[in-house]
């Protein structure tokens, strides 16, 4: 039997299958803190709770393509740096039916984050407080800017916590820090982003030295404008630096 003969007689039916979805953790910096974009659920189940933008994976659609589609359709964002995070498969994570969800992490520069919020897609920004919750990524507390807690739907608190954990882990040896900044930025802004992701302050001179030595940043020659005091030099991300 050749391979094509075999395929002709193959029956793809068989067993009951879990539904497959993608959920997007879209992170940005808001008022100096790490924040995520959430949608308020208007329908049952768990109406009124806050959820990650998500959607089902089409039968002829790549996981990455599904994530990009959800980014456009549910979050109203044209483009973002998306990266697969983890796949959540608890049996009872959704009360409707068995849904396995592939979580994606997306990073938005501050401007894109604000634009998405204003875009009318019903998105809200949740400020994240993520204590260092150990290996598995413990639950996260999400809240509005003034501290009111936002209750999260399904297992989305776990997903958010894991996203922050992943981000923290990649901070030191990849360019994730730059993905949250505009094209031109000051060293102070870069440090603030790193501090927001880590949830802990950094040594200033060591940070500047490290960033410059690694060759990740290139001076633009321009300087910050509109500051009350000495304006800082503007840099841009230099992709030619090694990773």
Instruction: Kindly state the number of chain residues that form the binding site for a second copy, as judged by CB under 8 A.
Output: 41
Give me the least distance between CB of 171 and a second copy, in Å please: 13
Give me the least distance between CB of 180 and DNA, in Å please: 18
Q: Applying CB under 7 A, does 203 fall inside the site for DNA? A: yes
Q: Which is nearer to a second copy, 178 or 235 (CB)?
A: 178
Give me the least distance between CB of 205 and DNA, in Å please: 3
Give me the least distance between CB of 172 and DNA, in Å please: 8
Question: Given candidates 42, 44, 205, 240, which one binds DNA under the rule CB under 7 A?
Answer: 205
Q: Applying CB under 8 A, does 3 fall inside the site for a second copy? A: yes
Give me the least distance between CB of 237 and DNA, in Å please: 16
What does each C-alpha distance from 44 to 20, 91, 154, 222 come to in angstroms?
A: 19, 19, 12, 52
Of residues 168, 178, 129, 173, the one with CA closest to residue 150: 129
Residues 7-66 that bind DNA (CB under 7 A): none
Q: Applying CB under 7 A, does 209 fall inside the site for DNA? A: yes
Residues 8-67 that bind a second copy (CB under 8 A): 10, 12, 15-20, 43-47, 56-64
Q: Applying CB under 7 A, does 243 fall inside the site for DNA? A: no
Q: Applying CB under 8 A, does 136 fall inside the site for a second copy? A: no
Give me the least distance between CB of 208 and DNA, in Å please: 7
Q: Are 101 and 23 in contact (CB under 8 A)?
A: yes
CA distance 129 to 143: 8
Question: Given candidates 72, 87, 200, 204, which one binds a second copy under the rule CB under 8 A?
Answer: 87
Question: Residue 220's binding partner, choosing from a second copy, DNA, none, with beta-carbon cut-off 5 to 8 A by kind?
Answer: none
DSSP letter for each residue of the chain: --HHHHHHT-----S---EEEEEEEEEEEETTEEEEEEEE--SSSSTTSEE--EEEPPTT--HHHHHHHHHHHTT--S--EEEEEEEE--TTSSSSS-EEEEEEEEE--HHHHHHHHHTTS-EEEEEEE-----TT----EEE-TTS-B-PBPTTHHHHHHHHHHHHHHHTTTSSHHHHTS-SEE-HHHHHHHHHHHHTS---HHHHHHHHHHHT-EEEEEEE--S-SSPPPEEEEE-TTS--
Q: Residues interacting with DNA, by CB under 7 A? A: 186-188, 202-210, 213, 223, 227-233
Q: Residues interacting with a second copy, by CB under 8 A? A: 1-3, 6-7, 10, 12, 15-20, 43-47, 56-64, 84, 86-87, 89-91, 95-98, 100, 102, 135, 243
């Amino acid at each position: 039997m050749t391979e094509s003969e075999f395929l002709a007689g193959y029956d793809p039916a068989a067993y009951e299958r879990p539904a497959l979805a993608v959920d997007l953790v879209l992170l940005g910096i808001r008022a100096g803190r790490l924040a995520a974009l959430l949608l308020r659920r208007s329908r049952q189940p768990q109406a009124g709770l806050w959820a990650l933008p998500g959607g089902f994976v089409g039968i002829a659609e790549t996981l990455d393509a599904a994530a990009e589609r959800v980014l456009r359709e549910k979050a109203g964002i044209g483009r973002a740096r998306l990266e697969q995070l983890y796949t959540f498969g608890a049996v009872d994570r959704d009360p409707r039916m068995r849904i396995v969800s592939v979580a994606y992490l997306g990073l938005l520069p501050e401007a894109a984050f604000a634009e998405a919020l204003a875009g009318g897609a019903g998105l809200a920004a949740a400020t994240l407080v993520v204590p260092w919750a150990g290996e598995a990524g413990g639950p996260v507390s999400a809240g509005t800017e003034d501290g009111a807690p936002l209750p999260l739907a399904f297992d989305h608190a776990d997903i958010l916590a894991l996203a922050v954990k992943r981000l923290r882990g990649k901070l030191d040896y990849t360019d994730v820090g730059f993905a949250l900044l505009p094209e031109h930025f000051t060293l102070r802004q870069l440090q603030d982003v790193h501090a927001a992701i880590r949830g802990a302050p950094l040594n200033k001179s060591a940070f500047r030295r490290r960033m410059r030595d690694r060759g990740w940043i290139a001076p633009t020659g321009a300087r910050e404008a509109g500051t009350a005091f000495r304006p800082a030099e503007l840099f841009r991300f230099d992709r030619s630096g090694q990773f």
